[in-house]
Amino acid sequence: MTREGCAIVTGSARGIGAATAASLATAGWPVVVNYRSDADSAAEVVARIEQGDGRAIAVGADVTDPVQVDELFGRAEHEFGTVKALVNNAGVRIDGLAPQLDAEAWASVIDINLSAAFHTTKRALLPMLRHRFGRIVNVASIVGLRANPGQSNYAASKAGLIGMTKTVAVEVARRGITVNAVAPGLVDTRLSEGTSNGLAERIPARRVGTPEEVAACVRFLASEEAAYVTGTVLTVDGGLSA
């Protein structure tokens, strides 16, 4: 990372978010490890980054709340300067067949997986526009591209995130800002527990992915080298969606 500034990774106390925070730190980004409730795990992520000579802080914030989002960015800016990379990773699952999903299960998943990403993206963009540089990477899912029964709310949130990615990318492309998404398939995280439904057997690579493999793709999309890559969705699924 050659430009002054820092990166925020939402929901980065564990899983793909934690791996992404660590990966960005190895690329030279000072990283804000965001969490909602698991302060201990976030502190462990920060400690691992610092052990590798990286710079990081943990900041608790509920990114569904625009006021807390502003406070998150304010803390990042105070500690490290302008936020020039944003990874929207915070996510949740509340599964069930469509006739069984209640309004709360629908609204909660949409709010955390999609609306929160809008709040953080909106807050990130004005400083990025002023500096004519920015990297936004949204962690979507192949479920936003293909059906997975029992996850209509999750699929809607991730499909919406992909649509937002493409639209915002076009809006800001002339100002040196890229907006992309990664769409992981079956990855070994707590969030994916119980979702395989025989999916693992259909993966051409014949294995489940790792958080670090997704993080490597995010790191590239956040790099200087990815300046001409925007509005795209990079699937990280072992060939499942091929």
pLDDT given at position 189: 82
- The reply to whether 228 belongs to the active site is no
Residue 144 reports pLDDT greater than 60 = yes
Q: What is the pLDDT of residues 113-141, one digit of tens each?
A: 999 999 999 999 999 999 999 999 999 99
Residue 2 reports pLDDT greater than 50 = no
Full DSSP string of 104-148? HHHHHHHIIIIIHHHHHHHHHHHHHHHHT-EEEEEE--GGGTS--
C-beta separation of 7 from 24 below 8 A? yes
Beta carbons within 8 Å of 62's beta carbon, 6+ residues apart: 36, 68
Neighbours of 218 (CB within 10 A): 30
Which strands make up the sheet holding 31-35, listed edge to edge?
56-60, 31-35, 6-9, 83-88, 134-139, 177-184, 233-236
- Please tell me the CATH code under which domain 6-236 is placed: 3.40.50.720
Q: What is the pLDDT of residues 8-62, one digit of tens each?
A: 999 999 999 999 999 999 999 999 999 999 999 999 999 999 999 999 999 999 9
Active-site option among 11, 133, 154, 234 = 154
Residue 217 reports pLDDT greater than 90 = yes
Whole-angstrom Cα distance, residue 93 to residue 80? 32
Please give the structure tokens belonging to residue 52. Answer: 């590798």
Model pTM score: 0.95
Beta carbons within 8 Å of 194's beta carbon, 6+ residues apart: 95
